[in-house]
Amino acid sequence: MNMKKTLFSVLAALGFMAQAAQTPDFHYFDHRNLIVIQGQIMNIESEELYGKKAAFLMLSIQSEDQRLFRVEVCPQWFLAADIAVGMKIRVRGSLLEIPAGTPYLIAQEISIQGERITLRDSKGFPLWNRNAGSGHGKRRGPGSRGRT
């Protein structure tokens, strides 16, 4: 039975990775669509988003109910925490439904290895953005990455 479950997980992850290249063309953080997922990191990628300004950390997460999610975390330079495939993670984020695709989350906060890292304020403004709306304009670099 465990062999079947493992085989299913591997096949599902491979199918997910094939769909993972499909980042929504237009997407934004919507605080009205917040969800929390917990699961295991299946894949870690770097992807240029938002006009190639910076490489973003993208995670593939298999939730506890075996659903696969693609999670947009933050620019790689902003996160100093060590993240590896197989780690358990909790993500609070804005869910985007992509037609016939994998659920896509824009992370607001992640918890990993007992550390909670805030990435966006309550309205969804990125803490790494110099022009963020909630007074976070002076935060820069991994030393000011929004830990709470």
pLDDT band for position 54 (cuts 50, 70, 90): confident
For residue range 80-128, what is the model confidence (pLDDT) as tens digits?
888 999 999 999 999 987 777 789 999 999 999 999 999 999 889 999 8
* Domain extent listing, the chain: 2-144
> Which CATH number applies to 2-144?
2.40.50.140
Phi-psi region of 57 (alpha: psi -120 to 50; beta: other; left: phi over 0): beta
Q: What is the pLDDT of residue 18?
A: 43
Residues of the chain by 3-state class (helix, strand, coil), percent to 5: 20, 40, 40
Top pLDDT among 20 and 65 is at: 65
Please calculate the CA angle 55-10-23 and round it to the nearest 5 degrees.
Answer: 30
Look at residue 49 and tell me whether its pLDDT is greater than 90.
Answer: no
Q: What percent of the chain has pLDDT over 90?
A: 45
